[in-house]
Amino acid sequence: MLSVVQSTKNVADKLPWFFRVVPSFCVGEGISNLATLRIEESLGTTKTPWSMSVVGWPCVYMAIEVPIYIFITLFIDYPGRRQHAEQSFHNPDSEPEIIEGEDEDVVAERNSMLHSSERQGDLVQVLNLRKEYSNGKVAVRNITFGVHPGEVFGFLGTNGAGKTTTISILCQEFSPTSGHASICGNDIETDSREALRCIGYCPQFDACLDLLTVEEHLELYAGVRAIAYESRTRTVRELLSLCELTSYKDTLARELSGGNRRKLSVAVCLIGGPRVVFLDEPSAGMDPVARRGLWTAIETVSDNCAIVLTTHHLEEVEALAHRVAIMVDGTLRCIGNKTHLKKKFGTGFEVTIRIRSDDEEVKEAIQRFFEAKFPGSSLREYRARRFTYALPGSMKLSRIFKLMEENASELGATDYSVSQTSIEQVFLQISDEAERQHEEEEAERLASTEKRCCACCC
């Protein structure tokens, strides 16, 4: 339209020279010029399609832009370059923050990682890692841990605790504000390329391409992993079998169920036999049968690598993990093997009893019963007509069942169960303690603010 009006014709002739910096404009201009040329030919014009005024200049611009934009993309996306830019705003060697009241096992893990020569062989080494965003939010606060070869490391935490941020740092999606981390002895900042070669990563989301089949996904990533062409068919076949996807090998990813898409994501991250595998909630959306199959796959590959597993299905941690760390508000609250954590934070046995009604007299009767028959017991939870009591560690299992059998009907119970302390109960206890601590700190802060306000008013 600008070229039609005489007063704006000069502007219309100059603007394309600037707009051609955008490749899509060049494509559109070329198509438009070809259509215009067809009309001009009918009027007797003898201009060729490849003349500079038709598609010549758009093609020249695109030929120049392609290598430039490829270089810019690689420069931005290359982890080492990106991290170098981020590091210019941070000091990775700054003094680690001192956290008051830190758990003794967390302190022992830090001392072991810093001073023990035995931990030098850990495939994952995280030392005083911290991540602070530009808005001042601290997502990861001075955490230290290591993962041995052949170990499944359960990495637990509430939503927003910092688990995914930590894994993202180790996979070089983010750069740490301070601290150090290494994968297979390669620093994630100074030896980023070698560190990435050792990693297999299954993210929270499904990294699937809708128009590729399951088998095509694995063949594609086998090529990316530089697996020899003659070995790819065998590798793909083994992974299909391992992740129970053989019957779906010719199915498009968009037609898979949520559980099978998660299986495919796990299979992709295992291609090439990585020495370190990060599984971020791998069983999300899976039914119990599929989840058991995934556990078998993880157990099969765990002998040859180190696995860091995050999950909200705590029975997975019970079944698979050798050691467990629980993260709350960006800090590690505990770390150790499952037996140690159960013994440290557990109380022995727990009794869960469900009652027929919410009658207050029934509730009081149950409370009196536990106080009288199980001295030292404490109410852990009451929800939906279900009581959960923590019993002292000195109570014998036979006596617990004897007393419950004799009194269950009289108490108005529909059913009851007795269980040992589980990782789930340890997790809930630590989360509750952290929440209470946060509430106390908030109350102290408000009280301090009120005192200052009163002092100013006086």
How many domains are there within the chain? 3
Give DSSP secondary structure letters for 210-240.
Answer: TTSBHHHHHHHHHHHTT--HHHHHHHHHHHH
Asked if pLDDT for residue 190 goes beyond 70, the answer is: yes
Asked if pLDDT for residue 217 goes beyond 90, the answer is: yes
CA dihedral of 329, 332, 338, 343, whole degrees rounded to 10: -90
Nearest CA among 64, 7, 105, 123 for reference residue 332: 105
Average pLDDT over residues 290-316: 90
Q: Which two tokens stand for residue 78?
A: 């290359």
Whether 331 and 357 share a structural domain: no
pTM of the model: 0.74
Residue 440 lies in a domain: no
- pLDDT of 1 reads 54
Whether 299 and 381 share a structural domain: no
- pLDDT of 90 reads 52
Whether 141 and 209 share a structural domain: yes
Average pLDDT over residues 142-165: 91
Residue 64 lies in a domain: yes
What is the spatial distance between Cα 364 and Cα 186, in angstroms, rounded to a whole number? 61
pLDDT tens figures, 57-88: 889 999 999 999 998 888 877 655 555 555 55
- pLDDT of 248 reads 93
- pLDDT of 91 reads 58
Q: Which two tokens stand for residue 14?
A: 């100059």
Asked if pLDDT for residue 31 goes beyond 80, the answer is: yes
Residue 197 lies in a domain: yes
Residue 454 lies in a domain: no
Average pLDDT over residues 226-239: 90
Residue 18 lies in a domain: yes
Whether 328 and 275 share a structural domain: yes
- Integer-rounded Cα Rg, in Å, for the chain is 31
What are the residue ranges of helices labelled H in 172-287? 192-197, 214-224, 229-242, 258-270
Give DSSP secondary structure letters for 122-168.
Answer: -SEEEEEEEEE-TTS-EEEEEEEEEE-TT-EEEEEE-TTSSHHHHHH
Whether 193 and 250 share a structural domain: yes
| C-beta separation of 259 from 289 below 8 A | no
Asked if pLDDT for residue 167 goes beyond 70, the answer is: yes
Confidence category of residue 442, pLDDT binned at 50, 70, 90: confident
Residue 112 lies in a domain: yes
Which residue do the tokens 């391409």 mark? 209
Residue 42 lies in a domain: yes
Give DSSP secondary structure letters for 319-373.
Answer: HH-SEEEEEETTEEEEEEEHHHHHHHH--SEEEEEEES---HHHHHHHHHHHHHH
Asked if pLDDT for residue 448 goes beyond 80, the answer is: no
Whether 331 and 361 share a structural domain: no
More confident of the two residues 419 and 147: 147
Asked if pLDDT for residue 369 goes beyond 70, the answer is: yes
| φ, ψ of residue 46 in degrees (nearest 5) | -110, 20
Other C-beta atoms closer than 10 Å to the C-beta of 421 total 20
> Of 302, 336, 370, which closes a domain?
336
pLDDT mean across residues, the chain: 85
CATH number at residue 257: 3.40.50.300
- Domain range holding 57? 11-77
CA dihedral of 172, 178, 181, 186, whole degrees rounded to 10: 80
Residue 128 lies in a domain: yes
Whether 262 and 131 share a structural domain: yes
| C-beta separation of 324 from 154 below 8 A | yes
- pLDDT of 88 reads 53
Whether 328 and 370 share a structural domain: no
- pLDDT of 397 reads 85
Mean pLDDT check: name the lowest of 178-182, 193-197, 359-363.
359-363
Whether 301 and 384 share a structural domain: no
Quote the percentage of the chain above a pLDDT of 90.
31
Quote the percentage of the chain above a pLDDT of 70.
91
CATH number at residue 368: 3.30.70.260
Whether 248 and 387 share a structural domain: no
Average pLDDT over residues 239-245: 92
Asked if pLDDT for residue 260 goes beyond 80, the answer is: yes
More confident of the two residues 439 and 353: 353
Nearest CA among 272, 213, 220 for reference residue 247: 213
Asked if pLDDT for residue 274 goes beyond 90, the answer is: yes
Average pLDDT over residues 437-449: 74
CA separation, residue 158 to residues 206, 311, 333, 386, 434 (Å):
21, 10, 12, 24, 11
- pLDDT of 290 reads 87
> Of 317, 336, 355, which closes a domain?
336
Average pLDDT over residues 291-308: 91
> Of 279, 308, 336, which closes a domain?
336
Whether 200 and 287 share a structural domain: yes
What is the spatial distance between Cα 185 and Cα 119, in angstroms, rounded to a whole number? 11
Q: Which two tokens stand for residue 234?
A: 């065998």
- pLDDT of 220 reads 93
Average pLDDT over residues 396-402: 88
Asked if pLDDT for residue 208 goes beyond 80, the answer is: yes
Whether 300 and 360 share a structural domain: no
